[in-house]
Chain A
Amino acid sequence: MSDLDAFRAEVRAWLEENCPPEMREPVRGDEDICWGGRNWKFQSEAQKLWLERCVAKGYTVPDWPKPYGGAGLSAAETKILKQEMARIGARSPLNSFGIWMLGPALLQFGTEEQKVDYLNPIARGEIRWCQGYSEPGSGSDLVSLQTYGEDKGDHWVVNGQKIWTSYADKADWIFCLVRTDKTNKYQGITFMLFDMATPGVTTKPIKLISGNSPFCETFFDDVKVPKTQYVGEINRGWDVAKYLLGHEREMISGGDSAGELVSLGGALAGVLGRNEAGQLDDPILRAQLAAFDVDAFAYRAMGERFIDMWKTGRAHPASSNMMKYVGTELNKVRHELVMACGGSEALEWDSPETKGGARPRAWLRTKANSIEGGTSEILLNVVAKRILDLPGA
């Protein structure tokens, strides 16, 4: 038996013993997702237990080094862990912007002390982070951001406004882009970290078209940030910000390929009904679902290939832009088809039979996929410039 086979057997046995049965049920909605943080209320004893056990093994961040709360697994071992978790339908023990975004940036740019101090609480789900990038006047053109940190010797005084800050009202800390030099556009931004409980920080929820309000306007009014709480170098935060965006795009791309291959057409045939030949009732819709399935199955292979290459440094550094573009556009098509198959029932907004309008709300939410973390158009610009090397892009 090879080392990897032995590892697979070990993981399988561990999961069998440690993953509570409840945590192997499909996620029904937001309430089943564990985000952690100071104010986190576990939805169930099983959710708590599952997190604690994974934390103890380093499995919330399996490929991070052990001193930072990870399990120190190789890319191949991480892939096996994910496959084995998917095999039994295990839920993710912990979702977090700390894991997906800040963590990779700290691993790359942080000091040893910062890695120990910030990564461990992320891995344990103790501190929940939010992302302070976008501003009312600076969305796609992020580098034009205006939130300003005035140098006061041993600290900055930050003033300004962020917008679209996901979960700002629930987060404990923020990683935030702040202008510290007004004379230099690219080399005048510092990547700061601060506590959302700092005096002068306020948030105001914004309601989405889905009816939910997971993001906020975030205001900074004379917020004091010690001059130790930044990543990378002062005025060089743009490098950190861009690196982090690469990981954010990897995450939003949904390029996860560990689970069962599930056909959307197969799943929706039950909703739409079948004709006497056993085929989906509407031939045009059937054809569209089949075309979607081809794209989705192919994209899943892309997800596997991308992660294999990304985790071993073989991927083009800009390829997460392509992944996010393709993956999010595909996800929007998926939900268009779900709505089309659902018919008038999928229009119901709050009936108990439709789980409170789960379908239309999810459908509307997916429209953000190709906006958040960089719009599709911006991603195409990046691919044209950095991968295809087209002029003037």
Chain B
Amino acid sequence: MPLYHNEDQLMLKDSVGPFIAEQAPVAHLRQLRDSDDATGFSRDLWAQFVEMGLPGMLVPEAHGGLGMGHIEAGIVLEEIGRNLTPSPFLSTSVGAVAALAKAGGTQAERWLPAIAAGEAIVALAIDEGSKHRPDRIATTATRAGNGFRLDGKKSFVLHGHVADMSIVAAKTDGGITLFAVPKDAKGVTADPRRLVDSSLASHVTLDGVEVDADAVIGEVDAGGEILDALLAAARTGAAAEMVGVGQGAMDMTVGYLKERKQFGRLIGEFQALQHRAAHLYGEMEVARAAVMKAQELLDQGNEGAKLMVSVAKAKAGRAANLAVREGVQMHGGSGMTDEYDIGLYMKRDRALAEYMGDVHYHTEQVARMSGY
């Protein structure tokens, strides 16, 4: 397959791009932020996503979805990134769907159609400390009655306070097991915190939470592979969103260079800025290609996907970070103001950078996977 979007994918981009730009531009984020919105996204907007079939893009057709791939989901995420659109798409429609589809079974039957129909928001309760360390999960699931008892603390759970279900990764006797923990389960408390990018992420406490045996996603002790599928999808999705954030920041900045005058000239005439903008363009293009490659390998079920996913998350992280830093700098004093959007891009980038492993984490993973 050539590494560019085919006709169908371009059509998807042509419909999703303008839709998001019109319905959920940066002004939409500002409006949620300034009204101190307690949900973290707009339910009206999500209803429009549902009308377009977006929440079920990755859901297999047998479960009522569109059965598309990561390349298609990436198209939507890039537009979400470019517009800083708050939505549960990444956690619900990408991360959760990847896990449920991989696991199959009761929980997949229960939740995949609901996600596709826009009836369920799903949160991912993976992290426990302030850094992403999925290999050190301390939350425990112990057998109790005909089910399990969950105890532990989760952090950075996006949409955790409003989710209809949370996928909780916990330690069991022989490995990791994933659980579908419904909203009303006793002993779950979600304490939402406003983050730098105005999104809401919860500290979730699991205090003797009792779930039935069929709450297990997949098999007991065999959650490692499912967790891997979830992480690969969420990381690749986050990388695609960062490409959108970086591209949005870059376009805005290049636009500013063509408007702002100092010394009687457009500042875009100064070579010191031109070279940095051109360098940034190159980094963004490379990041975009890396993300597409990871999406392609994931869609093919290729065993090289894991390495490329880490490459994509690390590279997109570096490139988008460069884009927002150069963006604020090249806007001069204006870049420091709340009135200009560029600062909002910097904030969103920071949150996405941490999500599911930062540049350093994934660079280290690349070293490990490459045998050194």
Contact = CB atoms under 8 A, between A and B. Distances in A.
A279 B356 CA distance: 24
A94 B279 CA distance: 33
Contact of B257 (A299, A319, A390): A390
B257 A305 contact: no
Contacts of A294: 310-311, 314-315, 318, 362-363, 366
A298 B282 CA distance: 12
Nearest to B316: A298
A299 B3 CA distance: 13
A382 B275 CA distance: 10
Given A390-B258, A391-B268, A298 B311 contact: yes
A289 B277 CA distance: 26
Contacts of B257: 390
Given A290-B366, A301-B308, A392-B265, A380 B275 contact: yes
A293 B367 contact: yes
B252 to A, nearest CB: 13
A266 B254 CA distance: 39
A298 B292 contact: no
B74 to A, nearest CB: 13
A290 B290 contact: no
B367 A280 contact: yes
A6 interface: no
A290 B265 contact: no
A261 B23 CA distance: 42
A381 B292 CA distance: 27
A60 to B, nearest CB: 24
B3 A304 contact: yes
Interface stretch (A36-44, A123-131, A307-315): A307-315
Contacts of B312: 298
B332 interface: no
Interface string B272-306: 00110111011101111110110000000000100
A389 B278 CA distance: 10
Interface residues of B, number: 44
A286 interface: yes
B366 A297 contact: yes
Contact of B370 (A79, A265, A391): A265
A140 interface: no
A274 interface: yes
B371 interface: yes
Contact of B3 (A297, A301, A326): A301
Interface in A265-282: 265-266, 268-269, 274, 279-280
B372 interface: yes
A333 to B, nearest CB: 14
Nearest to A295: B315
A291 B315 CA distance: 9
A258 to B, nearest CB: 13
Nearest to B297: A301
Interface residues of A, number: 49
Interface in A125-167: none
A379 B2 CA distance: 26
Contact of A286 (B2, B265, B315, B372): B372
Nearest to A269: B372
Given A266-B372, A305-B3, A287 B278 contact: no
Interface in A310-328: 312, 314, 319, 322, 325-326
Nearest to B2: A308
Interface in B1-15: 2-4
B173 interface: no
Nearest to A322: B282
A302 B366 CA distance: 18
B3 A308 contact: yes
A257 B367 CA distance: 20
A384 interface: yes
B363 A391 contact: no
A198 to B, nearest CB: 41
Interface of A: 75-76, 79, 261, 263, 265-266, 268-269, 274, 279-280, 286-287, 289-291, 293-295, 297-299, 301-302, 304-306, 308-309, 312, 314, 319, 322, 325-326, 377, 379-381, 383-384, 387-393
